[in-house]
Amino acid sequence: MRVNGHVVRDAEFPVRQGVDRIEIEGERLAAAGRLVLMLNKPRGLVTTTKDEQGRNTVYSCFAGAELPWMAPVGRLDKASEGLLLFSNDPAWAARITDPRSGPDKTYHVQIDCLPDPQLLRDLEHGAMLDGERLTAKAARCLRRGQRNAWLEIVLDEGRNRQIRRLLAAFGVSVLRLIRVAIGPLLLSGLPKGRWRILTAQEIDSL
């Protein structure tokens, strides 16, 4: 394959739709239309195309679907669940994951204690961890049990294991973490392990 006249052997090499010239065996390829899909990621899958440890990946959810090349838009760690986007347009994906231009992400988080108002304020104020400040844009208690509770946490950026690390800084452990929304796009109604293609209107809303 050649991109703008240069030989490229990496199948996942990013290109700019409508800008870069792509040729295979001398034939120029027409630009593919933007495709975006959402997956309700089950717990226990890693967000990668291949895993050196042989663990199951999110791509197992697309088995037999004959989809074009699609890359994850952001990440959810192995223990996390919920809304995960995929796209064949790297430039669009970069805008979605950029905290300056991308939408907020909303999570429902089950914790191992009963939160007080101070904890919620602490999450929004943030903490310095490994030289970086981690904060929640918003945090509130959804419901309480006898020993644990569910929080709703909104992030305007997505750093590695951000919610787990932030809660751990205040002595709180995560029992379950589910991403339920990206901007106005809601997970509700999509069964675990299932996916669907977004409409043009949904893509524009992001």
Neighbours of 166 (CB within 10 A): 24
Residue 122 belongs to what H/E stretch?
helix 117-125
Secondary structure letter of residue 153 according to DSSP? E
Give the pairing of strands 81-87 and 6-7. Answer: unpaired
Q: Report the catalytic residues.
A: 77
- Nearest 5°: CA angle at 73, between 95 and 69? 110
CA 150 vs. chain centroid, Å, equals: 20
Phi, psi of 139 (to 5 degrees): -150, 135
